A = this chain, B = another copy of it.
Amino acid sequence: MKNMQEPWERPIGIFDSGVGGLTVVKEIMKLLPFEAIIYFGDTARVPYGTKSKETITRFAMEDAAFLLKKNVKAIVVACNSVSSNSLEYLKSSFDIPIIGVIEPGALYACKKTRNKKIGITGTAATIESGAYEYSIREICPEAVVYSKSCPLFVPLAEEGWIEKESTFFIARDYLQELLDKDIDTLLLGCTHYPILKQVIQKVVGKGIFLIDSAYFTSIALKELLEENNLLRKSTAIIEPLFFLSDIPRRFSEIGERFLGKRIKKISVVDVTKQT
């Protein structure tokens, strides 16, 4: 392919523990339509968010190494559990620009809040890491942050229970304690959660601003590529490539719900067997 060897012509690597990161791919494709994208979803080992920091970091290193072999110019960690537990380790291990989803979300939460009371939702791994609190306090030291892990939101999103009464009750059980703190901004700190945005908005009410980091991550990526002179110069559109470690049951339905369009071609890889 013409100019494929120039650094800026190389693809962007994006990975997630599963299919949630496709919400980030969707935003990147909208904002940066001329970029080539290689996505890896670790569907054989999903979820990461209930697992230990050590295991999350080990898996993330294998995922990133796989993308590196595909000659990517930058990596987007489209997974909150990895971004909050393993981003520094990844950055210190590889020689290309790497960004996560935490800072873009934190930055935007700080911009939107008026009363400086911010709620954070996420997996157990994300919440326990304290990464959002840290990032928000760096940007806006006077903010008060209240966190709540919502482990059932991922399986609910994957089950597609978007409009069920049960989902409403579960969301209320999880979120009531954040509402009691008078938050005015709620960060959806997991790439799966935007699928449940409607029911979450119904539970928290219209007065609370919901933040989905996918869009802000695409903006941060654009800035990063500009800074490093890595924005692709060709304007021929390249179909994104999707790699998964397993083709999960009902994948086409779930994948389409996250990406917002049909996924044409998927390759299955075992990233533990790289030599």
Contact = CB atoms under 8 A, between A and B. Distances in A.
A225 interface: no
B50 A249 contact: yes
Contact of A246 (B51, B169, B273): B51
Interface stretch (A107-115, A154-162, A201-209): A154-162
A33 interface: no
B51 A55 contact: no
A216 to B, nearest CB: 27
A167 to B, nearest CB: 9
A157 to B, nearest CB: 11
Interface size class of A (residues with CB under 8 A): 20 to 34
A120 interface: no
A164 B156 contact: no
A152 interface: yes
Contact of A43 (B51, B161, B248, B272): B51
A246 B54 CA distance: 8
Given A155-B155, A156-B152, A51 B125 contact: no
Contact of A152 (B128, B155, B245, B249): B155
A70 interface: no
Nearest to A124: B249
Contact of A151 (B159, B164, B247): B159
Nearest to A154: B155
A250 B128 CA distance: 12
B151 A158 contact: yes
Interface of A: 43-45, 50-52, 54-55, 59, 124-125, 128, 151-152, 154-156, 158-159, 161, 164-166, 169-170, 173, 245-250, 272-273
9 contacts: A44-B45, A44-B51, A44-B59, A50-B249, A52-B246, A55-B246, A124-B250, A154-B155, A166-B166
Given A51-B246, A51-B249, A166-B170, 11 more contacts: A44-B45, A44-B51, A50-B248, A54-B246, A55-B245, A55-B246, A151-B159, A152-B156, A152-B161, A154-B155, A165-B169
